[in-house]
Structure 1
Amino acid sequence: MFVRARKMHADEVDHDVPLVHRLIATQFPQWADLPVEPFDSSGTDNAIYRLGQDMAVRLPRRGTAGDKDLRWLPRLAPLLPVPVPVPLGEGRPAEGYPFSWSVFGWLDGVNPSPETLTAPELLTKDLAEFVTAFRRIDLPDGPPGYRGGPLSLLDAPMRIALDDSRGLVDTDAVTAAWEADLKTPEWAGPPVWIHADLMPGNLLVVQGRLSAVIDFGTVGVGDPSCDLIVAWNLLPAAVRDDFRAALQVDDATWARGRGRALAIALIALPYYLNTNPVFAANARHVINEVLADH
């Protein structure tokens, strides 16, 4: 008997192994005999199922998940220093599943966490090289990156999250930190290419080194501070300055990155408190790290 996967959103659609088998059998019959296994992921936008040994099936959990990566990944991949997902097939809504879905090549590695880093100095170097490569991409007509606009756009959801987080965090301290970073001048330069979601769940490591970056649904152009959030959601304080120095980040961009990290964490904490414990735990970590930086 198959148990349906745990839902993270009130409007998330049902998905399970039999559904994936049916979708594959009808749309990609060449893979119909391969085993399908659910993959335990803290990702919030897509459910992942492993297909055989070399592929992954990605099902959007709800209609808000986009497919920008299907268009852009083949163009971005040759320009980046680590492997990224390779799209192998795009599925259509069927079998009661209402959204487009996709098959990607499988990438080996594990998601890092702040508590399990074995080579933080080397991982810092790897991440800085990845972000630098992204900033140097020169592809025309890039879409707006998710969260790539002014930091002030996060103020309204932050105020709601502050109310929802009372009793969970020191909301007075969080408010003071947020308002300080919110006063920072906005990015005045040209928009640059950004991944825009460098969370631990979107990174893979092997023997402590960055082996791949996944989930490019938020990719686009915008404020380069978006890709600094990894400094607080993963990197230890002892190497944070090395990350900043490698990227040659000015004070204003660093403060906006810190503010973005705080906003993402605080908005996520009450929302995922009971449905995604890994994500919620990382949100608490980020909040503590940002407050320690102020």
Structure 2
Amino acid sequence: MAFNEYGRIEQLAIRPAQAAFRDQAKATAEWQDLRFHAEPDVEEAFREYETLLSIYENAGISLHKLPADNSLTLDAIYVRDAAIISPNGLILCNMGRESRNNEPAIHGEILASKGINVLGRIEAPGKVEGGDFIWLNEKAAAVGLGPRTNEEGIRQLHGLLGEDVDLHVVPLPAPDHPDDVFHLMSMISPVDADLAVIYRPLMPQSFLDWLDGHGLGYVEVPEEEFLPMGCNVLAIAPREVVMLDRLPETKRRLEAAGCKVHVYKGDEISRKGEGGPTCLTRPLVRSA
């Protein structure tokens, strides 16, 4: 079992659009408070999600489909944020957005019933969201310090990961609105042991130096494809990735770097809620 963001995914937790969005009335009631860019078309969201499922299924990934729950919002489709996988088990997060705080306990209960060990939980006043965390390898990880993950949360996270893990803290830029989100994975997605997709202009030099020290090379996202989530790339195996459609230059650069690229239309499930393929998934087991 590998702890990185690029090994072949064997088990994956998801919450399908049917379970998260449920029906048009729910989308109508919630989208503005959650600061979606527009109201999702729920039936189209279901069709978009089926495309994603076919990519995972064709890759032979075992899927843990998390169910609907009346306490969850539309944001629950973005399952990455509620938990972090570690060598000693699942770490349940304490979410930076209060409306999402029911998600970690629900994830923990369901995944524990499937035989996945729950190591612990980030407790208030600590806050951590899974989109702010990446593994480079089992001894090195990075965490974003920003609006959704605070210093106390990082202290608790490091305690759960153990002193053997080099946890590099990355200061993140503030979003335009306090309820908006800018996660660490908004500007980096590792896709192989020596390759990551990045948006260089927002990355602190100290973080780039740390990545350079681990031998990382880069596929750089152009400015015009950053806001449309060009950095949000899910590796399902080394140099085999899933990304949003209509990002032609990032796709070209990935392919030039030897990557096999799968694309999906994500207008309803990704673009309106600003959650790309990494956000929509919680990899649980990657092969070594």
Larger Rg, first or second structure (1 or 2)? 1
**More relative contact order in 1 or in 2 (CA 8 Å, sep 6+)?**
2
TM-score between the two structures when normalised by the length of structure 2: 0.30
User: Structure 1 or 2: larger helix share?
Assistant: 1
TM-score between the two structures when normalised by the length of structure 1: 0.30
User: Structure 1 or 2: larger strand share?
Assistant: 2
